[in-house]
Amino acid sequence: MPPYAILTLAILAEVIGTSAMKASQGFTRLGPSVVVVLGYCAAFYLLARVLDTIPVGIAYAIWAAGGTILVTLVAWIIYDQRPDGFAIIGMALIIAGVLVINLLSKTSTH
């Protein structure tokens, strides 16, 4: 499987785990708590797998940015936690930072 596809799966697993965290109510509900643990285990395993081919700084920047933005969207849809203008600006800056790292930085090359 291509490394960026694995990284995408890592992001999705992290988003699932993080989204279930609120539903776990401080790990007092078994079902959502299991989803949190499994989601994070899968996310870290998949993230570790891509580090042989994608530099760690690049992989982590994409993983963190993708997770942040998707968790914000999930929280808006599921928990009605609508991001305000500053949150949207912040997410745009995160995306800009990842783009700068990937497109302009020499870090993105091996």
> Are 20 and 12 in contact, with CB atoms under 8 Å apart?
no
For 16-45, the pLDDT digits (tens) are 999 999 999 999 999 999 999 999 999 999
Helix (H) or strand (E) holding 24: none
User: Looking at residue 95, what is its pLDDT?
Assistant: 93
Rounded CA separation 48/53 (Å): 10
Please give the pLDDT value at position 43: 98
Mean pLDDT score of the chain: 94
CB-CB contact of 63 with 10 (8 Å): yes
Residue 1 is predicted with a pLDDT of 93
Task: Tell me the two tokens of residue 58.
Answer: 């690049």
Rounded Cα gap, residues 18 and 41, in angstroms: 12
Q: What is this structure's pTM?
A: 0.89
Q: Give the type of residue at 19.
A: S
Q: How far is CA 68 from CA 19, 20, 73, in A?
A: 11, 14, 9
Q: Where residue 109 falls among pLDDT bands split at 50, 70, 90?
A: low
- pLDDT value at position 103? 85
pLDDT (tens digit per residue) in 78-98: 999 999 999 999 999 999 999
Here the tokens at position 71 are 């968790």
